[in-house]
């Protein structure tokens, strides 16, 4: 007989809500909405991404992400330019200011996450983080 445990969603759902509640004030303090932060996290220095590829990567609707990209562009956090191979396509890249804001925000979020992770022993923490990465 197997031991009974809660379903994964029953365990991960509350943890996800806890993490979102933890991140919300940090994002607000840095002037970012959750979707804007997701955009910045998914724009690496190279290569540039298309708007469509970025929307797919973060699980956002392609039409609804335009407003977020407009705001980040106006704030000088990302750049959008036509693809030389197809002018209908927009290429995205993160600016130095966007990189700084992303890195500062991520550091603050991970500091807060560490407070939560401190409930685990170092071995449990390593195992937990490794397991999460494998499941992603």
pTM of the model as a whole: 0.86
- pLDDT value for 64: 85
- Residues of the chain with pLDDT below 70 are 1-2, 45-47
pLDDT per residue as tens digits for the range 88-99 = 888 899 999 999
- pLDDT of 24 reads 97
- Burial 62-93, CB ≥16 within 10 A → b, else e: eeebeebbebbbeeebbbeeeeeeeeeebbbb
Asked whether the beta carbons of 98 and 40 are under 8 A apart, the reply is yes
pLDDT digits (tens, 9 = 90+) for 66-86: 999 999 999 999 999 888 888
For 42, counting Cβ atoms within 10 Å of its Cβ (0-12 exposed, 13-18 middle, 19+ buried), the class is middle
Measured in whole angstroms, the distance separating CA 131 from the mean position of its chain's CA atoms is 19
- So what's the pLDDT on residue 62? 85
Degrees to nearest 5, angle at CA 121 with 107 and 129 = 50
């Amino acid at each position: 007989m197997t031991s009974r445990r809660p379903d994964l969603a029953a365990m991960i759902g509350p943890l996800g809500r806890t993490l979102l509640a933890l991140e919300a004030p940090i994002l607000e303090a840095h002037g970012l909405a959750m979707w804007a932060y997701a955009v910045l996290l998914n724009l690496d220095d190279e290569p540039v991404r298309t708007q469509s590829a970025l929307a797919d990567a973060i699980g956002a609707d392609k039409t609804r992400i335009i407003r977020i990209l407009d705001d980040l562009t106006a704030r000088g956090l990302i750049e959008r330019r036509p693809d030389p191979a197809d002018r209908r396509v927009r290429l995205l890249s993160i600016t130095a200011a966007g990189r700084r804001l992303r890195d500062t925000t991520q550091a603050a979020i991970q500091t807060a996450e560490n407070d939560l992770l401190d409930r685990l022993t170092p071995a449990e923490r390593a195992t937990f983080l490794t397991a999460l990465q494998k499941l992603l």
